[in-house]
Amino acid sequence: MCAKRFTSGHGPSQRQLRVAEVIRHRLADVLARGDVHDPDLSRLSITVAEVTTSPDLKHATAYVMPLGGIGAEEALKALRRNKAELRHMVARDLGLKFAPDLKFELDGTFDRMDDARRLFADPRVQADVATPPDEDDEA
């Protein structure tokens, strides 16, 4: 049987999910402790919302956002600038044949949630979702 059959088109495997979660925790710990000696990273509080990995576990994408979303581009540049050091710290004792190459992207989840809240607060949408009176009550 081919292992690709289980991972292609069916979402991430259990191993991918497990490794991604370990990477997320380690990356968050490294950033919280300020282990990277970069003043730009040290003064920012960065949330690691999610990590996804490629099927071969050689690449990992971390979705990040600084606290309050302030300085997002600056944080992204600092993370990318320190990618090699972060990779080394995160991969230590990970138990993989290769240390995954880290890629950083801004997490858009919070923006999408705010957009959904604004949409549901719109009076026209509220009118559409309001429960119409039950016709049985009128009879």
Per-residue pLDDT of 66-124, as tens digits, reads 988 888 899 999 999 999 999 999 988 788 888 999 999 998 776 566 556 676 777 77
Structure tokens at 22: 């370990």
Whole-angstrom distance, CA of residue 26 vs CA of residue 9: 28
Residue 52, φ and ψ in degrees, nearest 5? -120, 150
Whole-angstrom distance, CA of residue 60 vs CA of residue 117: 31
Domains of the chain: 4-130 (3.30.300.20)
pLDDT at residue 1 above 80? Answer: no
61 vs 136, more confident: 61
Region of residue 43 (left: phi > 0; alpha: psi -120 to 50; beta: else): alpha
pTM of the model: 0.72
State the burial class of residue 78 (Cβ atoms within 10 Å of its Cβ: 0-12, 13-18, 19+).
buried
Task: Of 58, 106, 100, 67, give the one whose Cα is nearest residue 83.
Answer: 100
